Structure 1
Amino acid sequence: MKAYDIVIAGGAMAGATAALALDTLSGGTLRIAVVEAMVPDHREHPGYDARSIALAQGSCAAFASLGLWESLAPFGTPIQHIHVSDRGHAGQTHIDAQSQGVAYLGQVIELADAGAVLHQKLQHREAIDVFCPDAVMAIERTPAAVTVRLKQGQSLTASLLIAADGGRSSCCQQLNIPRQQHDFGQVAVIANVSTALPHQGHAFERFTQTGPVALLPMSQGRCSLVWCMTAEQAQGLMQVSDDAFLHRLQQVFGWRLGKLLHVGERHAYPLTLNQVVRPVSHRVAVVGNAAQSLHPIAGQGFNLGLRDVMTLAHTLTEAASRGDDIGAMPTLMAYAKQRTPDRDATVALTSGLVHLFSNDSPLLAGARNAGLGLMSALESIKQPLVQRTIGWVEPR
């Protein structure tokens, strides 16, 4: 049996970042094991598939604080402007980097590229062992430790298990950690799209009768599409030709980027709010999508998860430096207490936007358009949304 300070189940974005943050902040004094089921530089990895992720400016700063952004930056496409509008109505608002005094509002990076960078970093840290391909098959907790048995036969023991194994977390299922779920009744159709006009760093979020449509700037002049709709509508759109798909998207999105020229492979993901009731349990902390999977309406999911990871890494390394038990409930509850306000506010924001902008009520349509108009005119009204969009949320 191998002994560690921390075992991390899941080596995709959240798990890999947690391991690297803990190693960096502790100066390599914590022994860490990362257990990952699939080699993350493979494009079929569910955490590193054709999807892109929008890293808020605050998330890029967090990666920079860990010495990681320099390696990730070449794969990023800066977001300089965000345009928010409501189809069929006049209300709209703009957010731009220059007016906020930042170089960019965020960066769009393909998960496959980010995964390859982080996985390579893990291989070069002496205090981190990576078990890949492997998986946690059984978990046993005692008052003083947690032991996991791996699929390949090895057993690992540690003071703490960090569950970072995705929205369908096997660890949470094995431990019967209670969850809350809400089905938004929507599916996200995701693809990469080429446009006739260059995006010039513009990101678009357009609210329609079926749900939001987002186009995010990507490398090579492409845009990353997230198009939310009912399951029935998604099923139909997944089956039509590329030309028919682009024609329908053009009708919904408009001509701000000129003619839509090409669409890549399409993927469809059901949208639910899926969160653990409490992100800590005896000898266990839950982070990333395992802790909460959000609607993509405001691009908050990974950015919230990264703030969880950073706070947990700081809490654990500070506890370790004091000689405290890093897996004890007082340490874990201190972490959970710090994260509750941000977590609750972000979940409320995304869920509220979904219900506000996916409703055809004339009263609500008037209210949200008035709101968008006020945001455009009054910086004080827009600023709370801007701060969360940019990621200016204190992560500790």
Structure 2
Amino acid sequence: MDKFDIVIAGGAMAGMTLALAIQHRCQTSLSIAIVEPFETNHQAHPGFDSRSIALSYGTVQLLKNFDLWQDIAPVATPINDIHVSDRSHLGITEISAAEVGVLALGYVVELADVGRIFAQKIAQSANIELICPDSVADIERSQDEVTIRLQSGRQIGSSLLVAADGAVSTCCEKIGLEMHEHDFEQVAVISNVVTDKPHQGRAYERFTEQGPIALLPMSEGRMSLVWCLPPEQAKAVKSMPDEQFIEHLQQRFGWRLGKIEKVGQRASYPLILRYRPQNISHRFAIVGNAAQTLHPIAGQGFNLGIRDVASLAQEIADSQGDPGSYVMLNRFRLRREQDRQATITLTSALVHVFSNDYLSLRIGRNLGLMAMNGISAVKAPLLQRTLGLVER
């Protein structure tokens, strides 16, 4: 049986970032295995598909700390401004990088690009073994070790197993960790669109009575669309001919970017909050979507997961001994508690407030947006979380 100091189940963004972060923090003193069912360069890899994600300012600082940002920067598009509005109502707020005093509020990257870059770095790392394609079949834990049997029949041992294997985590299910679910009764339709006006690095969050529409600036003048709708409407919108889809989106989003000229291939996924209150167990930790999967409103989910990764990597490095010890794991648990709860509460509250057209909430949210635009003290708490500048 091959033995490693740490085994990470899941080789998408969270898992690969964790492996590279631990390597950087521990200066290659720990051996790491990543168990991943899908080959990174395979078009069907669910963790590195056609989606784009917004990396907050704080996430970029963490990636810089891990010596990863310089490789991602060439394929990243800066977010210079964020424009938040409520369809057919007065509420508008804007946040600019200049106002905050940073070069960019965040950056948009295509997951496929980051997957390719990280795979190259993993391949060059002597202390990281990528076991792919393979997956976890069974887990046995003793006092000092975790034994993992893989679907291929191979057995590997480790001091610590980290679940980074997505929202419906096989590892968490085998360990028996409880998961809470809340169905937002929305589906996200995603695509890339092209508009006749240049985006100039501006991101848009547009609240409509059906749900939020987000447009993120991308390379080559494209915008990444995330359109949240009730399930039946999402199904209808996704299957519309391009011309009809564009017309429908134009009506909902407006003309701030001029005419929407082109739409790419569409995909969709249901929006369900999945949250595991317990993010550790004996010789076991959870990061990223396996710990919590959030609604995409305000773009918090991935950035919260990277804070999980950064905290665990730092605690492992600081432990300077057994990477799966209870003392280290408990420090990680306590460290992540407040940030996880606050971010989950914020995103769920935003969905509730902005995804309906009740008169009382409509008035309240518009007053709130106008207040945020005029009073910096009101804007500050949301701005801090948007930038990812929170305690972890």
| TMscore range, shorter length | over 0.9
Amino acid at match of 1:245: F
Distance 2:215 2:315 in 1: 36
1:43 Cα deviation after fit: 2.6
Of 337, 340, 344, the residue aligned with 1:343 is 340
The question of 1:331 aligning with 2:331 is answered no
Partner of 2:83: 83
Amino acid at match of 2:288: G
- Does structure 2 conserve the Cα–Cα contact (< 8 Å) formed by 1:81 and 1:96? yes
1:240 Cα deviation after fit: 1.1
Partner of 1:367: 364
Amino acid at match of 2:141: R
Q: 1:273-322: CA deviations, max 9, x gaps?
A: 00112110111101010110000001011100000000000001111x2x
Distance 2:73 2:363 in 1: 41
Q: Displaced runs of 4+ in structure 1, greater than 2 A?
A: none
Provide the secondary structure at the position in 1 that maps to 2:47: coil
Q: 1:150-202: CA deviations, max 9, x gaps?
A: 12221110110000001111111111111111000100000000000000000
Provide the secondary structure at the position in 1 that maps to 2:236: helix
Matches within 5 A, 1:186-265: 186-265=186-265
Q: 1:326-356: CA deviations, max 9, x gaps?
A: 2122221110101111111100110000000
Q: 1:105-148: CA deviations, max 9, x gaps?
A: 00000000001111111111111111011111111111111010
Q: Give identity over the alignment, percent.
A: 52
Amino acid at match of 1:92: I
Of 359, 372, 381, the residue aligned with 2:378 is 381
Partner of 1:135: 135
Partner of 1:122: 122
Amino acid at match of 2:340: R
Unaligned runs of 5+ in 1: none
Q: 1:201-234: CA deviations, max 9, x gaps?
A: 0000000000000000000100000000100001
Amino acid at match of 1:204: Y
Distance 2:146 2:355 in 1: 44
Amino acid at match of 1:234: A
The question of 1:352 aligning with 2:349 is answered yes
Matches within 5 A, 1:8-19: 8-19=8-19
Partner of 2:20: 20
Distance 2:56 2:119 in 1: 21
Partner of 1:184: 184
Distance 1:207 1:256 in 2: 14
Distance 2:323 2:128 in 1: 17
Partner of 2:388: 391
Amino acid at match of 2:244: A
Amino acid at match of 1:150: L
- Does structure 2 conserve the Cα–Cα contact (< 8 Å) formed by 1:42 and 1:112? no
Partner of 1:74: 74
Provide the secondary structure at the position in 2 that maps to 1:5: strand
Distance 2:19 2:162 in 1: 10
Partner of 1:168: 168
Answer with 103-112 or 36-45: which moved more: 36-45
Partner of 2:41: 41
Distance 2:183 2:171 in 1: 22
TM-score, length-normalised on structure 2? 0.99
Matches within 5 A, 1:234-313: 234-313=234-313
Provide the secondary structure at the position in 2 that maps to 1:72: helix
1:40 Cα deviation after fit: 1.0
Distance 2:234 2:174 in 1: 33
Provide the secondary structure at the position in 2 that maps to 1:366: helix
- Does structure 2 conserve the Cα–Cα contact (< 8 Å) formed by 1:203 and 1:215? yes
Amino acid at match of 1:128: I
Provide the secondary structure at the position in 1 that maps to 2:214: strand
RMSD: 0.8
